[in-house]
Structure 1
Amino acid sequence: MMLGWLPVVTMIALVLNGFRLRGQLAWLPVLDDEQDGPHGRFRFVAAQGAELPERTRAAAEDWAQRQGLSVLDLVPRRLGVARALDLARAGLGKDFLATRLASAGGAGHALLVDADVAEREQLGEAAPDTVTTAGLTTRLKRLACTATDFAVAPGLGVIQETPAQRAERLRAERGLFRAVLPPLVCYAALVTCVVAQPILGLGALALFCLQPYLVFAGSPVRPADLHRHAALRLLRDPANWARTLAALWRTRVRGDRVAELRAAYAAELAQGTERFFEPRRADCPWCGGTALKPHVRCVDLVLNKPGRFTLERCADCGHVFQNPRLNLAGLDFYYRDCYDGEGARTAETAFSAGPAVYRRRAEMLVPFTTPRTWLDVGGGHGHFANLAREVWPETAFDGLDLGAGIEEAARRGWVDRGYRGQFPELVAELAGRYDVISMFHYLEHTREPFEELDAAAKVLSAGGFLLIEVPNPGSRYGRLLRTYWMPWFPPQHQHMMPRENLVRALTERGFTVVAQDRGRADQSMDLTMAVGLGLNRLARNPDQPWRPRPATWWRRVLFRAVLTAGVPLLVLAWVTDKLAHQVIKRGNGGNAYRLLAQRS
């Protein structure tokens, strides 16, 4: 019975997706090529083989100046169907300009770039290939997050993309797995439709072929191969994907880098992981109590690095902490390739996914003050500061972090100034400079939380505010999901403090808690992340350089197969989380809490 409805569902999905893709392209402005000549204020980056006439340069400069743009990606009007559809799927949309954390690959032909942005990106003089040019749009958007846009350039010639270039571009933009999975699902659905209901199945095939006409009807992008592509789509699409995957198999660029990392990790792991731990302590680091017992025994479910970890709970004050805790060498080992290196792309995606959360954090100050200077401690790459400017456009936002990400945040302009180092060690330099300090999911990572709070009290000006958000160790999900509750995040989270403990510690340091968000701070992701962590543990990415053996083709296939099979579970968990959040946000049992405290 289900298969009987599949052709109808498939046809509806094809139509809806066609309208969605059409909306991603239909808003694009078209440059007026009737201009006198270039103004010379901007620099142009044209890919190898791109034809960029002077009249197109002039039109682009005129449009950029009138719209106040620093970066403009130029899209050829006659761009081919396959490449244009990739562009529509890559994050393009009418809100791209105004969305600070939006990310989209470019058309890969030519860009107009403001001199300041070009200097910060250190653009060379040589013409890049089309893959590099497409990726440049993503990078430049971060440097000009509210001044980067797209426009159709009628005079710009089309560059033909090879299968190898397409594979490399898709891998850089979305990861090839995410790029390939939707068409594979579509092909599987179409084949099943024909087998289950031949007549309706043929209708679904016909609609699949005609879908490009729906996407490009009235569009400013008018592919030269539209009719040919539609007529041959049943053969052409699968063949193109096959060539793309074959090219990927032949060009294993990443393999050499992973091999080097694998050798380095193997040398470290040969010495064992026990050396990464300090001796177990017998008392609670928060209250000094000795009534300790194991709370959660766990492993690294995020990166799957080897090692076993124990979180203990103090029966006297409820504080949960890592015991034995990692030493400095251990912290270096387990943090490495999580937020940078091999994990940089995943971290960037994760931190860009929560703009609503960033705004809610910033808005917590609205009833109390108008910040002049704000220091975000543990600021990472500056995602919060970037979004918070929408709430507080006149505020100077600085950031502090131990990693190199904070220097990248300063280069992007997401923070006005970035400080790299340990917060307590920079107190003398920063004392009295700030009227707001924020610590979002930072305190649980620190070795000595009391020292961090002491530093905040010294750096804040009189009457200043300290805004803290941390996981809630009292969450019911934490008890239910145990090892698979994401906020335990071993081995990075070293301290998990109950809300009452943190309030008391702030009061002892001269702070008054003026506002609290408990249920409203919940991030509605407990079940989704638990399923994701379980799949990640089961699949074990074979390309991770700390895996004991080099990856083989069948291990890669197994890894992708497990993740694909888990998609329905992830969808079900996500829906359940969203429904549960409607109840949780009205109570006090969320997976996190926020405190706003004022220094006397």
Structure 2
Amino acid sequence: MSTRAEIRTHAAPSCRLCGVPGASLHVDMDDRLYGVEGRWSLLRCPECGLVWLDPSPDAADMGRLYEAYHTHDRPVHPSFVQRVIRRGIPAAVLGYGDSAGAVERATGRLLAAIGPLRETARRSVMALSANRRGRLLDVGCGAGLFLSVMRDLGWEVSGTETDAAAAALARRHVPGAVVHTGLLEDVGLPDAGYDAVTLSHVIEHVPDPESTLRSCARLLRSGGRVVLATPNACGLGVSRFGRSWRGWEVPRHIHVFDPDTLARQVEKSGLTICSVETVTSAAFYLYLDGIRIERSTPGGPSAAGRPVGRFDQLWAVGFWLKEYEAVRRGRPVGEEVLLVAERTSQTGGAHSA
């Protein structure tokens, strides 16, 4: 064990999925977004392609990586356009007609014809259709935005969050929702108690993805679904930004998956995969963050939230549309991997392991 700028670390030289020593991908990286001190490197498995952080922060110091994190931001009241994307389009394409107003439903039917907006709406509800409504657990719920969206769509929502400040915001933002503070494995949730468990930009942060996914499987009723969204290590943004790609996010992202490695990780955890795809709805924002990181300097002001120009925003829209078209043509280059898995009657290994 060593100390890097007061963050304790340990070596992680080999692939978690297949045990092969990693090959160097990027070295001497720093945290341009939130200013956590230290220098960090990424390895890629030459066999399966999994990317991971080496050295990796010790579990005891993980909380220190999030002291200035964006989940501390108070959620803002959604605009009409956001409400249409979160309620109107899902009403049109995913069966949530009873959860949207007449104007939202009518506007949603029109906008659902626009592919990128339809995809964004589907991603906003983690690909969960209305006919699956029941009890939902959002792991790593942050300040509670997703809990609020899904409660408004008729789900009975609760969440877990390791960051006490973010959990407090979620409780205020979603009155009545139960938000547990702590690790998923430690908060004492009931077996087979949920119809859906969601992890949006969470699995890349956890030191032991298999343990987390097995816990998710244990919490699901038979036929219940786990849905994961995570940065795609083979996305178009990686080609555009290289080491400045937002999805690397050292040192908070411990593992960075692509569709194949995420599917392999989920299968190791005993769940049955229903679908795996890449989506582009985050491309606009991740492009702008890539620009911010590119323009930042080592040891300089935090790049998170730094203003960008109108031309940057126009380029970001163009990048999003280019990526959407590539995905539509069958290339798995969306900024995020979206995977849906199910607990079947044979998923006993995930329960008992």
> In 1, distance between residues paired with 2:334 and 2:147?
24
Which residue number in structure 1 is paired with residue 245 of structure 2?
Answer: 485
Contact 1:310–1:324 at 8 Å: present in 2 too?
A: yes
The reply on whether 1:579 has 2:314 as its aligned counterpart is: no
Contact 2:138 2:159 in 1 (8 A): yes
Give 2:20's aligned residue: 289
> Does the aligned pair in 1 maintain the 2:210–2:269 contact within 8 Å?
no
Question: Equivalent residues in 2 for 1:148-163 (5 A)?
Answer: none
Deviation at 1:442, TM superposition (A): 0.3
Alpha carbons 1:516, 1:594 under 8 Å: kept: yes
TM-score after normalising by structure 2 = 0.75
Give the aligned partner of residue 337 of structure 2. Answer: 593
Amino acid at match of 2:137: L
Offset at 1:571? 3.0
Please give the alpha-carbon distance, in whole angstroms, between the structure 1 residues aligned to 2:317 and 2:189: 47
Give 1:359 shift.
Answer: 5.3
- Write the distance in 2 (CA, Å) between the matches of 1:348 and 1:366: 24
Determine if contact 1:382/1:415 at 8 Å carries over to the other structure: no
- C-alpha displacement of 1:463: 1.3
Partner of 1:375: 137
Deviation at residue 457 of structure 1 after TM alignment: 1.0
CA distance in 2, matches of 1:376, 1:273: 32
Gap runs ≥5 in structure 2: 86-119, 345-353
2:290 match:
530
CA drift at 1:339: 3.6
1:279 aligns with 10
1:448 Cα deviation from its structure 2 partner? 0.6
Aligned to 1:443: 203
Q: 1:525 to 1:460 in 2, by over 3 A?
A: same
Counterpart pick for 2:59 among 314, 328, 337 = 328
In structure 1, the partner of 2:99 is none
Residue 376 of structure 1 aligns to a residue whose secondary structure is strand
Q: 2:128 aligns with which of 365, 378, 389?
A: 365
Alpha carbons 1:407, 1:419 under 8 Å: kept: no
Give the partner amino acid of 2:251: P
- 1:171-199 deviation digits (Å, cap 9, x = unpaired): xxxxxxxxxxxxxxxxxxxxxxxxxxxxx
Work out the CA distance in 1 between the residues paired with 2:266 and 2:314.
40
Match of 2:33 in 1: 302
| Alignment match of 1:494 (pick from 254, 260, 272) | 254
How far apart are residue 415 of structure 1 and its match? 6.0
> Does the residue aligned with 1:316 lie in a helix, a strand or coil?
coil
- Counterpart residue identity of residue 180, structure 2: Y
In the aligned structure 1, how far is the partner of 2:208 from the partner of 2:262? 13
The alpha-carbon deviation at position 478 of structure 1 amounts to 1.2
Percent identity, please. 21
In structure 2, the CA distance between the partners of 1:411 and 1:583, relative to structure 1 (3 Å rule), is same
- Mark the CA change 1:477 to 1:413 in structure 2 (over 3 Å): closer, same or farther: closer
Residue 507 of structure 1: which of 267, 275, 278 is its match? 267
What SS class does the counterpart of residue 303 from structure 1 fall into? coil
Give the secondary structure class of the aligned counterpart of 2:142. coil
Quick one: distance in 1 between partners of 2:282 and 2:173?
Answer: 29
Q: In structure 2, what residue type is equivalent to 1:336? A: E
Superposed, 1:113-152 pairs within 5 Å as none
Name the amino acid aligned to 1:373.
Answer: R
SS in 2 for 1:487: coil
Compared CA separation, residues 294 and 538, structure 1 to 2 (3 A): closer
The answer to whether the 8 A contact 2:63-2:163 is kept is: no
Greater RCO, 1 or 2 (C-alpha within 8 Å, sep 6+): 2
Give 2:179's aligned residue: 418
Q: 2:24, 2:62 → 1: CA distance?
A: 21
Question: CA–CA distance in 2 between the matches of 1:494 and 1:533?
Answer: 19
**In 2, distance between residues paired with 1:592 and 1:363?**
12
User: How far is 1:422 from its partner?
Assistant: 0.5
Q: 1:436 to 1:571 in 2, by over 3 A?
A: closer
CA RMSD of aligned residues (A): 3.1
Q: Helix, strand or coil: the match of 1:576?
A: helix
Give the Cα–Cα distance (whole angstroms) in 2 for the partners of residues 431 and 414 of structure 1: 25
User: How far is 1:585 from its partner?
Assistant: 4.1
Q: Between Structure 1 and Structure 2, which shows a larger proportion of strand residues?
A: 2
- What is the one-letter code of the residue matched to 2:15? C
1:594 alignment partner, SS class = strand
Deviation readout 1:554-596 (Å, 9 max, x if unpaired): xxxxx9xxx67x5255234323324324414414211111111
Q: Give the counterpart letter for 1:327 in structure 2.
A: D
**Amino acid corresponding to residue 321 of structure 2 in structure 1:** L
Contact 1:377/1:442, CA 8 A, preserved across alignment? yes
Q: Which amino acid in the other structure matches residue 465 of structure 1? A: R
CA contact (8 A) 1:276 1:329 kept: no
* Alpha-carbon separation, structure 2, partners of 1:477 and 1:412: 32
Kindly indicate whether the alpha-carbon contact (under 8 Å) linking 1:311 and 1:320 is maintained by their aligned counterparts in 2. yes
Aligned length: 301
How far is the alpha carbon of 1:421 from its aligned partner? 0.6
Map of 1:54-203 to 2, 5 A cutoff?
none
Q: Secondary structure of 2:284's match?
A: coil
Spell out, residue by residue over 1:115-166, the C-alpha distance to the aligned partner (whole angstroms, 9 max, x if none): xxxxxxxxxxxxxxxxxxxxxxxxxxxxxxxxxxxxxxxxxxxxxxxxxxxx
Give the Å deviation of 1:286: 2.2
Larger Rg: 1
Structure 1 position 492, deviation (Å) = 0.8
**Residues 287 and 399 of structure 1: is their aligned pair in 2 closer, same or farther, counting only changes over 3 Å?**
same
Structure 2 CA distance for aligned equivalents of residues 362 and 527 of structure 1:
22
